[in-house]
């Protein structure tokens, strides 16, 4: 008899399970549309050229302090740069008004976007004690896990309309109007919604912001794809900046990741930002101190390797320009693969409508395939995607897109 006898089984992570199956599959034409990582047209990882340049410079410098502790709140030069990228302060002269705006933001380094989401959830659970958090239906599966571990009840707002395969803005607004309560938290994807690839328009974002302000619902942004979705940092952070600039009395927070836009998946580089309704320095410091209290008890401080790369790039104009070009290249390849898949399905006359594939953006597409069709894709064609029908577009290439489209066509025609 041990205390572990009371421990029940938990579901394993579908994405990592699927990735393991793919790697163990020896079929020569297999295709991985599961894991959310950028791949070249040859299906290979792509360390960004600007990252390789920054790594070489850091290696050549051989800084004696490169393995030292930083601070509990992280490498503060990195943290300030991360904030400036997200809120579009980067490269601007600090006027008094700009300094006041920056003082509204309390920021710390985290263990990538997952760590930022987790830290934010725990921070709000301890200090705000929300009655519930609203997650989109569907959302990134890890959002459920994170908020469950924080002990905050979860509710779902409509997001994806399976009949139209489009964003269900009306359904979302209706549920939040009728059921949203003061003090609730709402999780919002800043851009390239995971898993659907569907984002609100700018006009719809304005309505969402108005609702949050009027009903006093606390916005929590997850910004995992800034610059990666459209190739533009400014475009992909528009919603965050609109809330910040146009709703200054509405507090909110943002989980920021550099995994996708720098290709630093394994380096775990991220930041968490809490936006205050005023620029009082002491309140900013109190928020940071409370975040540091949580960080100290969990991981002490963020890792320095990946953030040093980001810092090196963002403090050199030529490297920054190269980074922007690298992001545009990644975004362009994914957009071209969306179009190629759509064109192939149209050429084959695949039953149904497939415009949603090119209407969506970012790494993922909610294809509309059923779980039975997804299973048939894996068993018959060795094409791997999630049971929900979510496909990672970065797994497509000019070499396999015709094969994948043919597989889609077959299961749509023959598997109910």
Query: What SS3 class is residue 187?
Result: strand
Structure tokens at 148: 């469950």
Structure tokens at 304: 């320095």
Structure tokens at 244: 């910040």
Contacts of 61 (CB under 8 A, 6+ apart): none
End-to-end CA distance of the chain: 48
Length of the chain: 416
- Which among 414, 416, 412, 415 has a CA at the least distance from the CA of 353? 412
Give the C-alpha separation, 281 to 37, whole Å. Answer: 39
Give yes or no for a cis peptide into 340 (omega within 30° of 0). Answer: no
Kindly report the backbone phi and psi dihedral angles of residue 66, in degrees, each rounded to the nearest multiple of 5, phi listed first: -65, -20
- Residues noted as catalytic: 140, 222, 260
Asked if 243 contacts 224 with a C-beta cutoff of 8 angstroms, the reply is no
Give CA separation, 272 vs 192, 222, 286, 288, in Å: 19, 10, 15, 10
- Residue matched to tokens 């008094």: 96
- Residue matched to tokens 């979302």: 172
Query: What SS3 class is residue 222?
Result: strand
Structure tokens at 280: 């009082």
Scanning 6-134, the segments in alpha helix (DSSP H) are 14-24, 49-61, 76-86, 96-103, 112-127
């Amino acid at each position: 008899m041990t205390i572990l006898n009371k421990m029940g089984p938990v579901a394993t992570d579908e994405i990592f399970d699927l990735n393991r199956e793919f790697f163990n599959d020896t079929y020569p034409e297999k295709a991985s549309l599961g894991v959310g990582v950028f791949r070249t047209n040859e299906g290979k990882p792509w360390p960004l050229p600007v990252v390789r340049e920054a790594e070489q410079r850091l290696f050549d410098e051989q800084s004696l302090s490169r393995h030292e502790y930083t601070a509990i709140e992280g490498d503060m030069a990195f943290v300030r740069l991360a904030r400036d990228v997200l809120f579009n302060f980067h490269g601007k002269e600090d006027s008094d008004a700009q300094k006041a705006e920056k003082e509204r933001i309390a920021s710390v380094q985290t263990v990538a976007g997952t760590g930022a989401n987790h830290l934010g959830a725990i921070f709000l659970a301890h200090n705000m004690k929300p009655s519930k958090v609203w997650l989109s239906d569907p959302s990134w599966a890890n959002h459920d896990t994170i908020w469950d571990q924080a002990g905050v009840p979860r509710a779902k707002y409509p997001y994806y309309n399976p009949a139209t395969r489009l964003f269900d803005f009306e359904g979302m607004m209706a549920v939040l109007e009728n059921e949203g309560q003061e003090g609730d938290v709402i999780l919002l994807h800043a851009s390239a919604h995971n898993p659907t690839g569907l984002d609100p328009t700018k006009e719809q974002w304005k309505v969402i912001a108005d609702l949050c302000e009027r009903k006093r619902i606390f916005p929590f942004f997850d910004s995992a794809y800034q610059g990666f979705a459209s190739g533009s940092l400014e475009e992909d952070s528009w919603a965050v900046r609109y809330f910040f600039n146009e709703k200054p009395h509405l507090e909110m927070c943002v989980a920021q990741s550099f995994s996708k836009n720098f290709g630093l998946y394994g380096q775990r580089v991220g930041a968490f930002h809490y936006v205050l309704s005023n620029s009082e320095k002491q309140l900013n410091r109190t928020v940071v101190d409370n975040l540091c209290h949580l960080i100290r008890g969990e991981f002490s401080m963020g890792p320095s390797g990946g953030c040093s790369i980001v810092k090196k790039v963002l403090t050199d104009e030529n490297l920054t320009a190269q980074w922007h070009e690298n992001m545009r290249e990644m975004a362009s390849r994914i957009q071209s693969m969306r179009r190629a898949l759509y064109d192939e399905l149209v050429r084959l006359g695949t039953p149904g409508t497939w415009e949603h594939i090119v209407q969506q953006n970012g790494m993922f597409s909610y294809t509309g395939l059923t779980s039975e069709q997804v299973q048939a894709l894996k068993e018959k064609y060795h094409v791997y995607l999630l049971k929900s029908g979510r496909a990672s577009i970065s797994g497509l290439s000019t070499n396999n897109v015709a094969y994948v489209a043919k597989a889609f066509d077959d299961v749509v025609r023959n598997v109910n």
